Structures are given as structure tokens and as C-alpha cells.
Amino acid sequence: MTTNADDGNLSGRTAGLISEFERTRDSDSTEIGQQFAQLQKTMIESKDMLLCNEGAKACNRLKNRYKDVLPYDKCRVVLKSENESDYINASFIEDLHGHRRYIAAQGPIEESITDFFRMISDFHIVSIICTANDVEAGRFKFRRYWPDETEDSLEFGTFKITKDQSSDKAFSNNDYEIRPLIITRDDNQQHVLLYHFLHWPDHDIPNDEAPILDLLLRLYQDRDSSVDSPILVHCSAGCGRTGSIIAIDLCRLYLNDEHLVSSKDYQPYPVFKIASYIRQFRIALIQTLKQYFFVHKMFLYLMKANGSISFHSSENNDENQTFSSSPPPTKSSSSRRPSAPLQITLRNPPIGRRLLNGSNISNTPSPTFSSSEFFPPSAKSSSTNDASLTADLPPPPIPPHCSAMRTADNQQENETNEPARKSNSSRSDSASIDSVVSSTTNQKSELSSEQESNSD
């Protein structure tokens, strides 16, 4: 992959990558295009190591919306066993310190909707990000699980979902809505905030960067500082839009951590490194080249917005974070909760583990990770703190392998025959892995015909 010696800092380098991508008609030949092609090739070459046997079992097949998007056995979410089933199509995603900060999930379908609420209950979920709509362009994307304007409540098995009328955190504008919900099972009540981004087209990107950051800042503002549960993120397949929003949040956390910014591990292509990292946990996170480009745009936007965000980094892996910011302006139509300066303190979710070490792909040139390309010797963190880093300040230690993530006890061979089911009457919304790579390596910035009709 090419480098540009004239770009002496991270902001300039990222702006150069974006400008190159926007100017050319051959987006695959750009630096961003070549990086995405390498991400796709890595996914193919890793599929034999990252097994999906549990999701392929006959007893679990109907719980998968797409036959080619299954959770890796090593990092799948394992439910408390009920009726001999602990399976859901969802994966733990670790942050850059090895903490289980997210769950990336398939959008619920009729066969998995009660498992979806079991997961929320089992892992004490209080924050959900939904980046899709239940129906898009006349196509069913997931089973809507919250009451609409005409409904007081919904029931799924033993779970009852009602609007939390007592909450003061309801919010609505042109770009997203925050829906306070109460999930009741037997005598237990659980309060959940659903952050629903309204305008993120399938296989496409939002029109503006500001609402994404606004949503994320509100989410962390609303989370109690004592909450250790993962953030649940889903779209339809739990890949493209889900992976993009997770990568964007990790870019935000990266830029606000002096140790990570100064670490050579993420230079000179931090977005590429973050995208490579999260793909160890779930297939095809950031599914299209256009989405990968948008993560770069968000990365540059976050750097520009970082002047109004104050970050105080801890000296250990606790990653306690404090933000002080006013959310970027959005085109608000109707707000039930006014915007206010944010004072956010976030504790970590439980520690998970790093699954695989990154590896270079043969026959594909890898980025040259030179510290001098992104940061000159006197580079400072993108934090607003004025104190510069010392040259020998070590990055946070990489967490060791551990057994925090529960895995299936027995792995079986993948079965080849897919039983007929009603949800497969339309084409799979997620392209097969091979067709995804084919579209990247053999075509110029266009999705394959299968991808064009499929969902992320």
C-alpha cells in the first residue's frame, strides 16, 4: 500500500485518503480501496480458523436470518440454557483494551425474538443501538420489538415490553430517536434505552457525520457510571451498519486515549487497524467499501470535533473516561429532551480476551506501520490536554488470552443442507463471503449483483 510522505500528521493523512477516494472513479485503486480489499481477503483466509459450528447446527438454523452470517464459536454470546438452547446469533466485540464493550447481533426475527430478550436479560443490557428500520424499501429487515405510537405494549413469550412513560430520557429529532423501554418478565423489570438511528440506508452511509457522534455522546451520557454491561448493537444481519457504528465508537475512544494515539501499533493507518481488529470477533463487520470510507470520514470529523472534548486518561487498563462536550448540532425537528452539555463518566465492561493476532496476507502488500508517517517526534495526543507525551511512554498492555468468553462445549461438523423456511423466501440479505471478496477484488467500487439486493 502506498504512503504519502507529505502528510506529516494524522489529520492531514486522513484528509488525504478521503480526498483521494472522492476524486477518483476507480475507488478500488485508492489507499482506502486497497485496505478494504485486504480486509476482505483476510476474512476469507481466516474462515477455516474461525469456526461457526454452533450456528450451523440443524437445531439453530432457523434462528439465523442469513445462512452465511453466523457467529464465531469462540466469541458467540451464550445464553443461560432454557429448553436445551443457549444459542443466539450474536457476538461479543472487545474494545481496544480487551474489554467486552459491545454485543454485535443479528436483528431479531420471529424464531429468535424471545432469545433476543433472554440476551438482554442475561447480560443486563441497558443500551441498545439500532441502525436499521424494521422495513426498508418494502423488505423485512427484523422483527420490531418496541411498541409503536398506536400500541401500549408488546409480548413475546414470557416477556412484556412497554414504554417507560416515567423516563425523562426520551428524545426525537430528524436523525434518531431514543425510546425508553421497560422489559418485564415475571416480577422482574428491566429499564432499557433504545437508540434508533433512522436514516442509514442498507449497504450505504448516512448523509451527515454529526448525528452519529451526537447519538454516541447521548448514549454514554445516559449510561450510569456503575453499569458494566455491554452495549447491544444490531442492524439486520449484524455486520455492515453494526460494524461501522462500533468502529466509529472505537475511533472516538482511540482518539481520546493518549497511550493508544502514541502507540506504534495503530500507525500509520488506525482505521485499518481498528477494522482488522473487530473483524476477529464477527464476520464482515463494516461490510462494504463505502461504509469503510465513511468510517474514515467519521474519523476525520471526530478529530475536528475533538477540540471540544476533554479526556482524562487513566494510567492503567481501567480506561475510566470523562468527557465534557456539547453535542454537535443536528437538524432537530422535535425534541422531548433538550440538548445540554455532557458530563460523561464510563466504567469498563468485564474483561474478555483478544482472539487472534493480526497476520499479513500473502500476495497483498501490507501497510507499512511507520511511526514517523503519522506523528512527528513531537506529536501530541488529540486530547485537548496541553501536556505532551514523553517519548518512552508505553502503550496500554495487550490483555492476555483468558477464558472469560463462554464457548460451546462441543463443536460439530458444518451441515450442508439448509432446510426450507419462510424467511428464506427472499434472497439472503447478506452476500456469501466469497461473493463479498469477489466483488472487492474483481470489480471497481461496485457491489456484486447479489450484494446489491442484500442487506448488511
C-alpha cell at 68: 452465511
CA–CA distance, 305 with 225 (Å, rounded to integer):
24
> Torsion-angle region of residue 32: left (phi > 0), alpha (psi -120 to 50) or beta?
alpha
Catalytic residues: 235
What is the amino acid identity at position 400?
P
Torsion of CA 216, 218, 219, 224, to 10 degrees: 140
C-alpha cell at 34: 486497497
What is the maximum alpha-carbon separation in the chain? Answer: 63
> For residue 140, how many other CB atoms are within 10 A of its CB?
17
CA–CA distance, 351 with 76 (Å, rounded to integer):
15
The pairing of strands 231-234 and 127-130 is parallel
| Coil, strand or helix at 322 | strand
Contact call for residues 23 and 30 (beta carbons, < 8 A)? no
Burial of 351 (C-beta count, 10 Å sphere; 0-12/13-18/19+): middle
| Coil, strand or helix at 104 | strand
Question: The cell 488529540 sits on which residue?
Answer: 382
C-alpha cell at 151: 400500541
CA–CA distance, 292 with 436 (Å, rounded to integer):
14
CA–CA distance, 304 with 297 (Å, rounded to integer):
11
Distances from the Cα of 298 to the Cα of 13, 147, 367, angstroms:
14, 32, 21
